Amino acid sequence: MGKISEKGKKFLYLLLISFFSICISANAKADGVKFGFMIGYTGDYAAWAPPLDNAAKLAVEEINSAGGINGEKVELIIEDNLSTIEGSVKGARKLIDVHNVPVIVGPESDPLVAIIQMARDNKVPVITSSAGTQAIDKEGGTGKYIYRVNASDSFLGVAYAKVMLETLGKSKVGLFVENLEGTMSAGDTFTRNYERFGGEIVKTVTLTPGSNSYYNELAEMDKSGVDTVLIAAGQTTGVTFFKQMYSRGYDWTICVTTDLQTDDFVAGAGNEATQDVFALVPGQVESEESWQRFSELYAAKFGEEPVSGYYQAETYDAIMVTALAMQASGGLTGEGVDENMIDIATPGGAMVRSFADGVKELASGNDIDYHGASGNVNYNEFGNAGAPAIRLLKVDNGEWMVSEVIDSGAFPPS
């Protein structure tokens, strides 16, 4: 066999380059785009995990059925943040360094605050569907890589204060607050707004996370003479606290914040200990077209109706707005999401209720305004959204029941 000429060598070289380019292109196409999804599948937030997981998967399925983002199918990469700061840092590090995700959706208050700088350093937007903490009220928006689809504690603080004063008629209360980021935030925003509207916090008692006994804290509040208390605590502390409160026979009117608004909490603390406990939850207007559409899709896939205010709609929307922002960028990067996130979900563009409709409008060169299952996701400059309605819940024989739906559109700002 003779030697290959220089011209032949050049031809083979170009042929190999072409071959490898095709292979690389094919692999890139097959890889699609990965969305990190990180919530507390275990720990204090575990009660919310199954419905939130369902909502995220429903959104991804819809996006892929519509052709994916800029022609690429979405793959959901799931991490359990263990409902802790440490678990969140470890999970986010894995999502970014190992899986190379361009975005992370889902983390709750403490887990989110722990990874803000990591998100910015790596230009990976984090989009939460349940973190209420006021610590991120001004931490997000374009260039900051943090976005929130659910209502802030600042908004909920106004709602709790208004409902406590006007609906329940309570002008003096005591406050139990667990020493955690999310629960302290809820307590702070309630205190600020309750006092602003004319209420009086007679006593504030701090609860140590993971304590075996809260009898001293209960006795301290009892000495204050209040007949109504608000409890901002996580699941683990909440169960212990309520059992001990019931065993001592304290007869307060009780409200709790969002961390305790689960069936698991009621079951763990016991029907008797939780009977007639009140709570507020931001919710959806169930007559609105976007909620009805989401509800029908969810029920058809999972055999049960979604629950308004349970962060299912917010989780679905968090995936959707992220996908539409990426679609609008024309690429698959976190930077593209950050640059377009606010623009695709604020008034001024064509109203869309689905990913497919959003893609169609963007392809026609139109701006879009996403109206989601959770409501009109109208971000402010800091990447925060609100809630169209508030539901007053009450435990009756072991079940959370809607006592009243309150229009929160006229509530003053925090």
Domain that holds residue 178: 154-284+389-407
Question: What torsion do the CA atoms of 272, 274, 275, 280 make, to the nearest 10 degrees?
Answer: -170
Banded model confidence at residue 52, pLDDT cuts 50, 70, 90: very high
In this predicted structure, what is the pLDDT of residue 413?
64
Q: Are 392 and 403 in contact, with CB atoms under 8 Å apart? A: yes
Please tell me whether residues 212 and 317 are part of one structural domain.
no
Residue 25 lies in a domain: no
> Structure tokens of 332?
């698959």
pLDDT confidence tier of residue 254, bands split at 50, 70 and 90: very high
**Residue 24 confidence (pLDDT) above 80:** no
pLDDT in tens, 323-338: 999 999 999 999 999 9
Q: Of 268, 265, 291, whose CA–CA distance to 393 is shortest?
A: 265
Q: Is residue 43 part of a domain?
A: yes
* Percentage of residues of the chain with pLDDT beyond 90: 78
pTM for this model (two decimals): 0.76
Q: Are residues 280 and 290 in the same domain?
A: no
Question: Cα dihedral angle (311, 44, 151, 141), rounded to 10 degrees?
Answer: -100
Average the pLDDT over 370-392 and give the result.
88
What is the band of 27 on the pLDDT scale with cuts at 50, 70, 90? very low
Q: Is 375 a domain residue? A: yes
Q: What is the pLDDT of residue 389?
A: 81
Backbone angles phi, psi at 150, to 5 degrees: -80, 170
pLDDT(19) > 80: no
Domain annotation covers residue 331: yes
122 inside domain = yes
User: Do the domain assignments include residue 19?
Assistant: no
Task: Give the CA distances from residue 169 to residues 160, 279, 351, 383, in Å, rounded to whole numbers and listed in that order.
Answer: 12, 15, 40, 34
Residue 18, pLDDT score: 43
pLDDT tens digits, 111-161: 999 999 999 999 999 999 999 898 999 999 999 999 999 988 888 899 999
* 212 and 249 together in one domain: yes
β-bridge partners, 255: 230, 278
| 290 and 280 assigned to the same domain | no
**Which residues are within 8 A (CB) of 163 and not within 5 positions of it... i.e. 6 or more apart?**
280, 390, 392, 406
Residue with tokens 């802030």: 152
Is 17 among the domain residues?
Answer: no
Domain co-membership, 399 together with 299 = no
Instruction: Kindly state whether residues 271 and 186 are assigned to the same domain.
Output: yes
Tell whether 95 and 144 lie within a shared domain. yes
Do residues 147 and 158 share a domain? no
pLDDT: which is higher, 208 or 181: 208
Same domain, 275 and 368: no
Q: Quote the tokens at residue 120.
A: 């910015």
Instruction: Check whether residue 268 and residue 310 sit in a common domain.
Output: no
What's the number of domains the chain is made of?
Answer: 2
Q: What is the CATH number of the domain that holds 88?
A: 3.40.50.2300
The number of CA neighbours under 13 Å toward the Cβ of 111 is: 32
Q: Are residues 280 and 293 in the same domain?
A: no
Q: CA-CA distance, 143 to 338, in Å (whole number)?
A: 7
Q: Is the pLDDT of residue 14 over 50?
A: no
Task: Give domain status of residue 107, yes or no.
Answer: yes
User: In terms of domains, do 204 and 326 share one?
Assistant: no
Count of residues in the chain: 414
Say if residue 92 is exposed, middle or buried (CB neighbours under 10 Å; 0-12, 13-18, 19+).
buried
